[in-house]
Structure 1
């Protein structure tokens, strides 16, 4: 054997073995650790589910004990004793029972055999019937065919034979079934009582048994440890990822619509638990359960800490049977967050800024608990950090109502979303929608035009108005082609500001300058925002002396405060130049101050107006100084008992119109008198109704209002006027030149713009402004004239008579409008009359166009174009000549004012001549809620404002220009959104609305889809809201703001509650009443008068339908019965009169002088109007129980409302309540008031007896 050399190793093998063993063990340990960490350690949701199982088991144990106790109280012991007794009886008759069961089985088998045979032969019979029918049809079609006759006879014989066999089999089956059932009845005599008792016990313990089954599953260690063990858990574990697929709720991921997959319930496992409803009703106060309560199971699920707590509103959300069940709506459609997240941070939780918590020594090392914000608590407990790139982070609790808006569009109010509802009202009152498109606040319906329809027909059909339809679809005329798809605006939001068409007759230039400088100085409640003297003017709001300076285009340095003054002056000059100044005459009678004050307080003005009360607590001006509490006390409901009112509704109603304080500093008595007599003559679309005041009443109110002066504002105005005058000829002149050059450089080269300012060469620009804006109506007629010329020229030689006639009518309408405009605008009357002759000739040519040859058509087209060009040239020369007549200062003001009006968007809120078609200046907000935070420009507030949409929008509403600094921008580039001075709570409510405007896609089946009746009700609610009907009336148990200002001891003087209108009133009477309440007055004693709103027929129809559907009545009611004169039986009328007298109805309903009626606490309406006012069925319903229609009404129920109640007149009409009620109804339907002549007026009550029960309590 040869020698093998010894192997030489670089390392000791024994050491390498130990190292290998060490790392192998380390690898094995790491593998087990990784398995543990992935299976348990990383998955915190498993711990939550295990912990909740322990909590639920404790609760179930307690509930099972309670169920056992309740079952014992309900007689479970007696029930089980009875069952034992029955078991003993059954045992004693065991032999008999078994014998009967055996015999029953024999009869059952015989019956089933016979029944099966019967069913088979019955099927054969049906087949034979078919063959017979075929043979019969063949014979009927060929009556002389012998073969058909033979076949028919054979099939008939077979059918008759089969019928006999089947009848015998059916009879046999019925006999055997009877024998079988008889045996079952004998068995039931033995065991039936026991079975019924067991069924009763099972029903009594059914809920308890379910809880016990669930308790066993949660506490059985075999179930919990085996089914949740690794690898085995794939079958049916109790601890698992729980998720809900929400296919109706989609969100955008990389341009793809993806359904939400909610996994929130993997941690929030108790979210769908329901707590028993308390006996007292209402929501129980939230109290954190103690350790002892947790152990005993005496807690409420809603009181548990997160993530175990149940939803606080199970009737609305999550629970089965709620409006938003969990399997359809999940969690993230409302709460947002990353739906697929399984960890606290990855789910994109968002801390609530207002919530706080206490950290113990485990997190702080301190003996005393430390109070921290929720954000700090999460960072310590859960290592929370914000998911910066999550597109839909979880909404903070106070913003959850935002999500309601994506499903609940088209509703006037959204139930159970009070903050969102208040925010929407604020947005509407402040006019945010005027500058920013908000699709969620618009309501449109599509309509395809049918034959015979024009815009007026479409408007009537859909309760809209022609002007809105024309504007929404860009139509020039009222005629539309068949098949055209129109977008019909319904419930259209109108401009929030007053019309400026005639503002020069209303206010002075000095007043407007000071108003624009700071609106809230004049009227603290105004929603008119402040555009000047903001952050872009001053270094900070708290120091109004450190003004910002900037370098103008001329190179000179100017103060921003001075620029603000020049801008205000330019806009004022421009607005007045565009206004139709009217010299209003003085009132024809002298006004009385005292009577005027009384009228303002009693006629109904306080339903929409306050005198000098401010709306919000701690209200401040823009410079931060507080509003004077003495001059402007807080509007509040403190001490007022009107159950239908809340603070928000009260303030909203009473801010429908402007504060009356300062009226005398703003308007003169002439304008006020004209306005009060007819508001629509100044502003056709105003919501201010006509109170039908007499000349004396209007003069009295005007005389009172002009005494309400804002002395502080007038003093400030005088001081500002002096300061302006001192700078006008020097600083303001140079600054105005600089601003003019600044805007000209945007249209012309720099050198040319400088020369234009230097030489005062502005005639061209100002002339263009005058033609385009001041005489926009003339300009529009010229455009339409040219369009008609083109339309005539475009007519086909074979154009139909209908087409030519329609075009001829269109041209004739244009001619008429031109003549009407000449009457209204004397300045351009001569021009318009010079153009008028061309239009009739054009209309004639349109009608006869097909009869002209090609040469004549071309020749006429050329002549028409030349006529139009001459008219356009004359108009341009007229506009330029008017511009040339102005001095340079006015030209600069008009040019700059036009630019500034377009910059600040004054036309968005106000009707301003020449800007009707201008586009809003604000960004669209329809999807702003899902705007990524990374796309928001924080400017100089990068470190001062939280980086989320909620904080950004609140800061934007709080101080819109705070993101801007003027050092790096030109004035035209600065932010221009104005300051509204909203309170912190209002800013939050507005943010809730804006955050609800998202790009999320919710499929129709998950949205709130209004039924036809709900749609019509919402249309009515919109009118009630827009016109502030709830300012005077209680509607749907809400409103009645004016009641807080009226004498509570004179409730007979309060406006009526509108509950039951649909049940009581005829649509014809309601139509005439709403058209002219003065001529259809029936509560003749009221001082608060129902005004004339000038409703269109569509609006009245909408309101009538609204009231009818609210009361679940048919519309238009009993139309057929109303078209014929009602003639009740004579004996019914006589009995009705007898009952009317016995019940002393005249004591309340006898007509008396208005002054006397006003002092009576029990006054009722004039019965002579019943036959025209009330529905026949409505009278019967009303008489049966008035309070069932109008809760709390003063009218008593004269007949018993209980079924076993005693009739008060047993000898009349056999004591039948229904007959008596019908008799009184028949009498009232023929009532002419003649009975009142036979009875003296009732005596007046003592003064201290006035008042009485309210319609509202």
Structure 2
């Protein structure tokens, strides 16, 4: 948005766009950084603003170890998002607004303080919060809000917005009180988001912009663009789903409001005094005391313009802006002290380094080098209070006087899962009978380690109450010398997990024989899984299916279906040893089987369905019928020595078999299962006879087997810039802010887990020379296949082909066939045409060419397998075939020759050149859409349109 960018030329502008779209691209990033640095060196002649100059630090290679991004949201445009009241309440205690937040608490941790130390914290912390807000608002950069769509005729509607929030993917990452069944913690809980943005006059505009284009606010956000586009309603009006969702979320407040918030615009006398004291503390770190006091009173003059550091903020300070200037200065210092930039992108902190202590060798740190201070006394006083031995005490945490009761901002020293009370008084004596054995085993173990001054005990207490090590020590420290580590909202299990990790850091790798050395394929799987977890791919998609390892009584799983004629290449192949093993019974007379698939869900509740032995759903409250759980297979299985094939009848598992086995749930797919009954209920309002299995085709598909289905190159492009594949889907694949390398890691992941070739695959059936070969061996091979495709009884009955769309219910539309050659692997296309249910058991696509009943010979002369081969060849070369059958003669116009010197151009143009046809025949005329002077459609597009027109 820097106006000076235009003056640097379009090439620099392209570098900016390259960095925005692909930050991992090194060349454009380095060139842009060099350009900014040269502009900085130009001094008064610089074309870019000082804020743009600060971006040079962001463009250099990171100096800190690690590759993970900052975990907190960007604060670069925070003033466009939230207001003073909410920011104050949030910084004071994040859990007050969002109890499930992952942000730690920095303020109000006073349980260990008393006397002067407590008094200082109560005076200074409110000013530190105000100063941080002042700096964040002052440094916040302008934000370019997204403009609403034009042509919207429907007003924003809360109920429509609720539906958008429910079905467009939000619940894959977020929780909301209106949808208690959604339990993902990948993103923040949005039950109170309306109260958050309401604190800013432009909060609604920000929320709308965030829903439309999240990357506009934060280019590297994990929040994807869910592609909310205008929708035509049944009454003909056009609605904006983003506006509807904004209206719904603005109403989501749970009646939460910030309380005890000071006036933003003014400071009281006491607040101004505390601000001066804080500022003086920082100034004394830079200047001698006398000089610091002068700067505090008068600021810095113009002769100090070359001064480096945060004190530059005091240049030109006047009496009228003294409060604002000092607040900004103290705010920046406080942000640096608390190391907020370690998690957040904050203007002015582009070069900030991590502030925490190095932990690389902490697991072997000698206990004598660990400062236990007086913490054991603090903990024992604490435990004594818990056991009812209270004595003299200071004010409870969060209170402002000894008589005050703990308020809503009190610090929870111990969480709900702890046996320790949150607000504690302290005794002057410790009961002699109070020992580690007095508590539960976990607390007793760590307490014993703490009292013995061992690493485990120190770390346990450090994670519980990090600042308790200042107990009886704060009085002898200056305010800024105290411990600064915040309190993270860990429960006991999380705390122990962190301890296990830190205690395992010993600054040297294990011996080579103990280091896991994955194969290249396994390494690709692990790298891709890391990306999939970071972007929550499993929130929508099942990455692998459910698995049941069962022990069953022979014959209890029903008889195998009657064998029907099928293509030999689709027949299941089991080794004789596996067949024999499936017939072995154990001592209890049970056989073993492994089933991989998905449980059949109830179309109303969305829970696993239970049926009787005949497959009839059991009514709620029926306790007499023996229940069976039907399973839709995704892998062929052996039961009683016979094959049960994917796409056949569901396998009903009696509860007896389930009880004697193990069920491993699917990885991912939560949103699809959550929305399964929802989309069925919505569709029933239009089509009462909707089939439950059809709903899976409208939801995010399972990605099991994806590596063997799709071409690696296509998947990489699709992940970076997704296009619509299934017109009937209720939500589109969103656009994530993937690095190109991250998209490649996902591509390799799917190929590795499915045993497919990657990253480069050559299949002779994709070679265009194949077209010539097949036509020579079977003239009319592809023309015959096209007849099948365009016959109303086959492909075009449901599929989009070129510009042709079948009439009827949009929910029945199948994927576009024009781009199959780019998207799918030939083997998969071939076998899919033969029997779709063998690869996607819930698909509604029938077997169009049965093994024993080929398509009419009037369409294609040949056997069933030859017809499948022809369709595969056509689809895998659709683009080339369409181009070959498109004549460009009508698109080629004779350009008028340049007029010769001294000749009248009009006469020269009217005289046809020798050999030039006087006029094109009607059949040769270019399309009417290609008006004079316009470039006609490209051949590729024309081929699609030509086929679409023919179908219509």
Sort the TM-score into its range (normalised by shorter chain).
0.5 to 0.7
- Aligned: 1:506 with 2:110: no
Q: Measure the CA separation in 1 of the matches of 2:668 and 2:517.
A: 27
**3-state SS in 2 of match to 1:651:** coil
Residue 721 of structure 1: aligned partner: 262
User: 1:1136: how far off?
Assistant: 5.1
Q: Measure the CA separation in 2 of the matches of 1:1099 and 1:1183.
A: 32
Question: What pairs with 1:1151-1166 in structure 2 (closer than 5 Å)?
Answer: 1157=809, 1159-1160=811-812, 1164-1166=814-816
5+ residue gaps, structure 1: 1-454, 479-485, 540-546, 552-556, 614-632, 638-649, 775-875, 1201-1205, 1241-1257
User: 1:968: how far off?
Assistant: 3.6
Cα distance change of structure 1 residues 1121 and 1133 upon mapping to structure 2, 3 Å threshold: closer
- Aligned: 1:682 with 2:217: yes
Residue 768 of structure 2: aligned partner: 1124
Residue 176 of structure 2: aligned partner: 611
The 8 Å contact of residues 299 and 314 in structure 2, kept in 1 or not, is answered as no
Residue 1115 of structure 1: aligned partner: 759
The correspondence for 1:596, drawn from 147, 161, 178, is: 161
Q: Measure the CA separation in 1 of the matches of 2:196 and 2:870.
A: 56
User: 1:1046: how far off?
Assistant: 0.8
Residue 121 of structure 2: aligned partner: 560
The 8 Å contact of residues 156 and 244 in structure 2, kept in 1 or not, is answered as yes
Cα distance change of structure 1 residues 658 and 760 upon mapping to structure 2, 3 Å threshold: farther
User: 1:976: how far off?
Assistant: 0.9
Residue 487 of structure 2: aligned partner: 979
Cα distance change of structure 1 residues 1002 and 1188 upon mapping to structure 2, 3 Å threshold: farther
Q: Measure the CA separation in 1 of the matches of 2:34 and 2:360.
A: 22
- Aligned: 1:665 with 2:225: no
- Aligned: 1:651 with 2:651: no
Residue 50 of structure 2: aligned partner: none
Residue deviations 1:621-680, cap 9 Å, x none? xxxxxxxxxxxx9x557xxxxxxxxxxxx6344559997464543552111222233222
The correspondence for 1:918, drawn from 352, 360, 368, is: 352
User: 1:1065: how far off?
Assistant: 2.1
Residue 468 of structure 2: aligned partner: 962
The 8 Å contact of residues 766 and 883 in structure 1, kept in 2 or not, is answered as no
Q: Measure the CA separation in 2 of the matches of 1:1055 and 1:1156.
A: 23
**Alignment TM-score, normalising by the size of structure 1:** 0.43
User: 1:1156: how far off?
Assistant: 5.9
The correspondence for 1:953, drawn from 459, 476, 479, is: 459
Question: What pairs with 1:1055-1066 in structure 2 (closer than 5 Å)?
Answer: 1055-1066=700-711
Cα distance change of structure 1 residues 881 and 971 upon mapping to structure 2, 3 Å threshold: closer
**3-state SS in 2 of match to 1:1035:** strand
Q: Measure the CA separation in 2 of the matches of 1:603 and 1:468.
A: 35
Q: Which moved more, 1:954-963 or 1:579-588?
A: 579-588
Residue deviations 1:276-306, cap 9 Å, x none? xxxxxxxxxxxxxxxxxxxxxxxxxxxxxxx
User: 1:1021: how far off?
Assistant: 2.6
User: 1:570: how far off?
Assistant: 1.1
Residue 1022 of structure 1: aligned partner: 530
Q: Which moved more, 1:488-497 or 1:600-609?
A: 488-497
Question: What pairs with 1:527-546 in structure 2 (closer than 5 Å)?
Answer: 527-534=102-109, 537-538=110-111
Residue deviations 1:534-593, cap 9 Å, x none? 1xx345xxxxxxx84427xxxxx9452232101101111112221114485874665333
Cα distance change of structure 1 residues 938 and 772 upon mapping to structure 2, 3 Å threshold: closer
Residue 142 of structure 1: aligned partner: none
Residue 829 of structure 2: aligned partner: 1179
Cα distance change of structure 1 residues 1237 and 692 upon mapping to structure 2, 3 Å threshold: same
Residue 284 of structure 2: aligned partner: 745
Q: Measure the CA separation in 2 of the matches of 1:490 and 1:1185.
A: 51
Cα distance change of structure 1 residues 951 and 593 upon mapping to structure 2, 3 Å threshold: same
Alignment RMSD = 4.6
Cα distance change of structure 1 residues 968 and 570 upon mapping to structure 2, 3 Å threshold: same
Cα distance change of structure 1 residues 674 and 1019 upon mapping to structure 2, 3 Å threshold: same
The correspondence for 1:927, drawn from 361, 365, 375, is: 361
User: 1:931: how far off?
Assistant: 2.8
Cα distance change of structure 1 residues 491 and 1000 upon mapping to structure 2, 3 Å threshold: closer
User: 1:1061: how far off?
Assistant: 2.7
Residue 520 of structure 1: aligned partner: 95
**3-state SS in 2 of match to 1:1167:** coil
Cα distance change of structure 1 residues 1067 and 885 upon mapping to structure 2, 3 Å threshold: farther
Residue 69 of structure 2: aligned partner: 494
The 8 Å contact of residues 466 and 485 in structure 2, kept in 1 or not, is answered as yes
Q: Measure the CA separation in 1 of the matches of 2:836 and 2:37.
A: 51
User: 1:1076: how far off?
Assistant: 3.0
Residue 80 of structure 1: aligned partner: none
The 8 Å contact of residues 544 and 702 in structure 2, kept in 1 or not, is answered as no
The 8 Å contact of residues 724 and 732 in structure 2, kept in 1 or not, is answered as no
Larger Rg: 1
Residue 941 of structure 1: aligned partner: 375
- Aligned: 1:902 with 2:347: no
Residue 818 of structure 2: aligned partner: 1168
User: 1:1006: how far off?
Assistant: 2.9
Residue 1042 of structure 1: aligned partner: 671
Residue 466 of structure 1: aligned partner: 26
User: 1:1062: how far off?
Assistant: 2.6
Q: Measure the CA separation in 1 of the matches of 2:493 and 2:519.
A: 35
The 8 Å contact of residues 70 and 344 in structure 2, kept in 1 or not, is answered as yes
Q: Measure the CA separation in 2 of the matches of 1:525 and 1:1155.
A: 48
- Aligned: 1:732 with 2:238: no
Residue 692 of structure 1: aligned partner: 227
User: 1:1106: how far off?
Assistant: 3.3
Q: Measure the CA separation in 2 of the matches of 1:741 and 1:568.
A: 17
Cα distance change of structure 1 residues 1075 and 745 upon mapping to structure 2, 3 Å threshold: closer
User: 1:684: how far off?
Assistant: 1.7
Cα distance change of structure 1 residues 699 and 1192 upon mapping to structure 2, 3 Å threshold: closer
Residue 1009 of structure 1: aligned partner: 517
Q: Measure the CA separation in 1 of the matches of 2:285 and 2:478.
A: 12
The structure in which a higher percent of residues are helix is 1
Cα distance change of structure 1 residues 1193 and 474 upon mapping to structure 2, 3 Å threshold: farther
Q: Measure the CA separation in 2 of the matches of 1:703 and 1:1154.
A: 36
Cα distance change of structure 1 residues 973 and 655 upon mapping to structure 2, 3 Å threshold: same
Residue deviations 1:1040-1067, cap 9 Å, x none? 2322431334333211222333322234
Residue 85 of structure 1: aligned partner: none
User: 1:921: how far off?
Assistant: 0.8
User: 1:911: how far off?
Assistant: 0.9
Q: Measure the CA separation in 1 of the matches of 2:63 and 2:121.
A: 45
Q: Measure the CA separation in 1 of the matches of 2:810 and 2:65.
A: 41
Q: Measure the CA separation in 2 of the matches of 1:946 and 1:487.
A: 42
**Alignment TM-score, normalising by the size of structure 2:** 0.56
The correspondence for 2:323, drawn from 864, 889, 899, is: 889
Residue 703 of structure 1: aligned partner: 247
Q: Measure the CA separation in 2 of the matches of 1:504 and 1:652.
A: 26
User: 1:1123: how far off?
Assistant: 6.0
The 8 Å contact of residues 224 and 734 in structure 2, kept in 1 or not, is answered as yes
Cα distance change of structure 1 residues 488 and 956 upon mapping to structure 2, 3 Å threshold: closer
Cα distance change of structure 1 residues 974 and 881 upon mapping to structure 2, 3 Å threshold: closer
- Aligned: 1:1225 with 2:872: yes
5+ residue gaps, structure 2: 1-14, 39-60, 231-239, 380-446, 546-666, 681-694, 879-943
**3-state SS in 1 of match to 2:262:** helix
Cα distance change of structure 1 residues 1121 and 889 upon mapping to structure 2, 3 Å threshold: same
Q: How many residues align?
A: 611
The 8 Å contact of residues 720 and 737 in structure 2, kept in 1 or not, is answered as yes
Q: Measure the CA separation in 2 of the matches of 1:1033 and 1:1046.
A: 12
Residue deviations 1:1058-1117, cap 9 Å, x none? 23333222344334433432xx31211212121222445444444333333333224322
Q: Measure the CA separation in 2 of the matches of 1:1170 and 1:491.
A: 40
